[in-house]
Amino acid sequence: MNLQDAIKSYMEYLEYEQLASSNTIPVRLADLNKYHRYMGQGKKIEDIREIETHHLRSYISHLRTEEGYQPISICNIISGLRAFYSFSVKRGIVAKNLAEKIKKPRVEQKEIEHFTWEEVEKIFLSLPRDPNYLRNICILLLFYYSGVRLDELRYIEVSDLSADFSEMYVEKAKGDKSRLLPVHPFVQRVLKLYLRQAQNSSYLFPGKEEKPLSKSRVYKIVKNCGETAGIKKRVSPHTFRHSFATHLHQKGVDINRLALLLGHANIEKTATYTHTEDDELIEAVQKL
């Protein structure tokens, strides 16, 4: 099969069967188109079955030496090629996954920034007692006690909460898994207070014109709370997510449970936080 046709089939698979995120698809397509150009123009190969492991190694070497790609970028490209070839093997396009034999370069792991226990407490205590206090405290509580992403939080609907507020459904984001999360008892109580006075909307945190609260508004709420508390490090929704994972790991929660709580389809993502049953997940969150 022509390499370009194989890439087209793979992209259709990502979009319609895997329901990959709108961020993933263009990145994978750009990487694979570059791979196709290299094989076609540089190696004069159009048929995917004619590509051999040494051609693939030559391509990775070209990216590193000729185009100056950094190790982290090369790792991502190799991961993409492995996924593409895995699909091609399953569909009978090729006999084996050539990319499995390509080793990823060593990447220096940067420490993921997270809050200390004291900083988390300081942020919550510094929250201004203005008319939006209950809404804002609920936003911070959900970021810290559930580890949701910014876009996941914005699109939570009131109907995503169970009748007793003990569980919350989170739609998948970034190509990862949808999940049902346990809600910490303290967060349950505050959510009930907030919803008694919240405006009538399908969204838990409504914005203007029947839309969810804007991304910039949520980000500003979080950032302002950090500034009021005098936190010097970056204060963002993702820092709360990192803190959620890191603090749970410090409390002894294993990596597999963390992956379920964070919605990671690939446990390698969860491993960066290491510096089942529903009851076990509930117990894990209540350790915070």
Nearest to 186 by CA among 148, 138, 153, 222: 138
Quick: pLDDT tens for 40-74: 998 999 999 999 999 999 999 999 999 999 998 99
Find the mean pLDDT for residues 112-139: 93
Find the mean pLDDT for residues 173-193: 85
Quick: pLDDT tens for 198-236: 778 999 999 988 899 999 999 999 999 999 999 999 999
Pairing mode, strands 179-182 and 167-170: antiparallel
pLDDT band of residue 250 (cuts 50, 70, 90) is: confident
Q: How far apart are CA 210 and CA 207, in angstroms?
A: 7
Query: Dihedral through CA 76, CA 80, CA 81, CA 86, nearest 10?
Result: 140
Give me the pLDDT at residue 42, please.
87
- Six-digit token string for 122: 């300081």
Nearest to 144 by CA among 214, 282, 257, 236: 236
pLDDT band of residue 173 (cuts 50, 70, 90) is: low
Give me the pLDDT at residue 82, please.
95
Nearest to 244 by CA among 149, 171, 109: 149
CATH architecture of 117-285: Orthogonal Bundle (1.10)
Nearest to 165 by CA among 205, 194, 207: 194
Question: Residue type at 203?
Answer: Y
Quick: pLDDT tens for 19-35: 887 778 899 999 999 99
Confirm if 48 and 84 have CB atoms less than 8 A apart: no
Global pTM reads 0.63
Specify the higher pLDDT residue, 264 or 36. 36
Give me the residue spans of the domains in the chain: 3-101, 117-285
Q: What is the distance, to the nearest Å, from the Cα of residue 86 to the centroid of all Cα atoms in its chain? A: 22
Give me the pLDDT at residue 254, please.
84
Element (H, E) at 7: helix 3-12
Class of 3-101 in CATH: mainly alpha
pLDDT band of residue 282 (cuts 50, 70, 90) is: low
Give the percent of the chain with pLDDT over 70.
90
- Six-digit token string for 233: 């490090």
